[in-house]
Amino acid sequence: MNYDDALRYLYSFANYERVMPSTYTATSFSLDKARGLMSLLGHPERGFASIHVAGTKGKGSTARATQQILAAAGYRVGLYTSPHLHSFRERIRINDKLIAADDLAAIVSEFPALVADFERSYSTLGPPSTFELATALAFLYFTRQQVDWAVIEVGVGGRLDTTNVIQPALAVITSISIDHVKLLGDTIPLIAAEKAGIIKRGVPVISSPQVAEAAAVIQAKAKAERAPLALVGRQLQIEEGSVALQRVEGRRVPVGQQFRLEFRHNFPRQHAELQPLAVTIPLLGAHQRENVATAVGAAMLLTRAGVRLYFKDVQAGLAALDWPGRLEVLRDEPGAPLLICDGAHNGDSARRLAETISDQQLYPHRKLLLVVGTVEPHPADEIIAALAPAADVVIIARANHPRASDPARLLAAAEAHGQPQASRLIGGSVAQSLALAERQAGADDLICCTGSLFVVADAREAMGLAGAVDAVRA
């Protein structure tokens, strides 16, 4: 079995990232399949120390930042995230190296026998899904590669997510907002309860700043599980007035930002005192400061689990932080419009994006041209409502995805939120929509491509910025 064969095999199972069945609900799913797979494989999830990361927004960035910090401290650190932009290999990496195609194929070649054994042993459960097999793949790889730590990002929710078979040393919960309502519930408390389902008995937890309803659920769950809870914004704060933009001559857009983190006296620490920490990150946006603060807090809490960590490691890891598709500048050249992309996929993310790109210090522009496409079941109307009022031109794109939203519906949403008819356009594919935006834009304008990470992936590939791109796609 080669790499392409391995992908075809994985994608031959139920793939809920592509087609979401109506029977997939938070109340009807269980971890039985995941536990069965782990048992048949000899429990690879027990072969490494882990950090579990859940949340609506920022969990990928926070997971990557945590991995970078630990790697800078000299540890061999696995990272499991989803979805990917261009290659399935992006989901599974150790430090900065993606899983090799041959290694992935070698492990997946063991799966036909595994699945046959699973269906004999657990005949009432039905076959595993693509994500369940991908998680088994990641856990086997990390165990066989003898990683010191693995940072594991939840796929959807938390309580019933396949990854929740691990027994982590630390749970991390990033910002929670409305998303995946058909799976997790249609209120913040319901969604927060699913995310907080990763909290285990006695296992420390750190939470990003949350709205009051989410914070209350997390605090109650932590108390019930006797899990020590640290809160970014309370025990660990971003020092007011400390933010400075990092600029390079010839670039219109800053290349990063610097800020200071302050550890309060009640931050659970290994040592008597932690001085304020200045960090520089090559990512923009106020939300990334919260994500990074959460990652720093997580890493510092791991010192209680024996991790050797110095501030210089934290600074070095964050200075090298990369996470494509999140407020990423695709082009910043003289004589051409700025081009950026961001995977804002729900209303709250879109509101933060609108606020960020309206800041002329960050993204100087005369007009804003928005290229937007969404994927169901993300709330397209909320995304359009947040972004359309800030845009001079809205171009509707269709992502290369089976669950791509109907462009006509997005166009109607733009109209409903005040976008003039002459400025509402349907551009076709993401590449075609970007080309249309280029024809409409002047050199002093800003083009922002957003609405889904699948749209972002299409934009990066259209601009020739993708690295390895899989020949086989789901």
| 289 Cβ neighbours under 8 A, 6+ residues apart | 238, 243, 257, 259, 281
Could you tell me if 314 and 261 are in contact, meaning their C-beta atoms sit under 8 angstroms apart?
Answer: no
Ramachandran bin of 453, using left for φ above 0, alpha for ψ from -120 to 50, beta for the remaining angles: alpha
Distance CA 466, CA 84 (A): 12
Could you tell me if 295 and 48 are in contact, meaning their C-beta atoms sit under 8 angstroms apart?
Answer: no
Distance CA 380, CA 376 (A): 8
Ramachandran bin of 180, using left for φ above 0, alpha for ψ from -120 to 50, beta for the remaining angles: left
Distance CA 199, CA 222 (A): 7
What are the two backbone dihedrals, phi and then psi, of residue 232, each rounded to the nearest 5 degrees? -70, 135
Ramachandran bin of 82, using left for φ above 0, alpha for ψ from -120 to 50, beta for the remaining angles: beta
Three-state SS annotation for the chain: CCHHHHHHHHHCCCCCCCCCCCCCCCCCCCCHHHHHHHHHCCCHHHCCEEEEEECCCCHHHHHHHHHHHHHHCCCCEEEECCCCCCCHHHHEEECCEECCHHHHHHHHCCHHHHHHHHHHHCCCCCCCCHHHHHHHHHHHHHHHCCCCEEEEECCCCCCCCHHHHCCCCEEEECCCCCCCHHHHCCCHHHHHHHHHHHCCCCCCEEECCCCHHHHHHHHHHHHHCCCCEEEECCCEEECCCCCEEECCCCCCCCCEEEEEEEECCCCCCCCCCCCCEEEEECCCCHHHHHHHHHHHHHHHHHHHHCCCCCHHHHHHHHHCCCCCCCCEEEECCCCCCEEEEECCCCHHHHHHHHHHHCCCCCCCCCCEEEEECCECCCCHHHHHHHHHHHCCEEEEEECCCCCECCHHHHHHHHHHCCCCHHHEEEEEEHHHHHHHHHHHCCCCCEEEEECCHHHHHHHHHHCCCCCCCCCCCC
Tell me the domain boundaries of the chain. 3-319, 328-462
pTM over 0.85: yes
At the fourth CATH level, which superfamily is domain 3-319?
Mur-like, catalytic domain (3.40.1190.10)
- CA dihedral (99, 205, 232, 192) in degrees, to 10, reads 90
Amino acid identity, position 14? A
Distance CA 111, CA 362 (A): 48
Question: How many of the other CB atoms lie within 10 Å of CB of 56?
Answer: 24
Q: What is the pLDDT along the chain (474 residues), one digit of tens a residue?
A: 999 999 999 999 999 888 766 555 554 578 999 999 999 999 999 999 999 999 999 999 999 999 999 999 999 999 999 999 999 999 999 999 999 999 999 999 999 999 999 999 999 999 999 999 999 999 999 999 999 999 999 999 999 999 999 999 999 999 998 766 566 776 999 999 999 999 999 999 999 999 999 999 999 999 999 999 999 999 999 999 999 999 999 899 999 999 999 999 888 875 556 889 999 999 999 999 999 999 999 999 999 889 999 999 999 999 999 999 999 999 999 999 999 999 998 888 999 999 999 999 999 999 999 999 998 877 788 999 999 888 999 999 998 888 899 988 888 888 887 776 656 778 899 999 999 999 999 999 999 999 999 999 999 999 999 988 999 998
Residue 265's pLDDT is 86
Residue 429's pLDDT is 94
Q: Is residue 83 reached through a cis peptide bond, with omega within 30 degrees of 0 on the bond before it?
A: yes
Residue 183's pLDDT is 64
What would be the CATH architecture of the domain defined by 328-462? Alpha-Beta Complex (3.90)
What token pair was written down for 258? 């610097």
Residue 378's pLDDT is 77
Could you tell me if 292 and 258 are in contact, meaning their C-beta atoms sit under 8 angstroms apart?
Answer: no
| 241 Cβ neighbours under 8 A, 6+ residues apart | none
Residue 339's pLDDT is 98
Task: Please indicate whether the domains covering 3-319 and 328-462 agree at the CATH topology level.
Answer: no
Distance CA 151, CA 143 (A): 13
Could you tell me if 56 and 213 are in contact, meaning their C-beta atoms sit under 8 angstroms apart?
Answer: no
Distance CA 295, CA 315 (A): 12
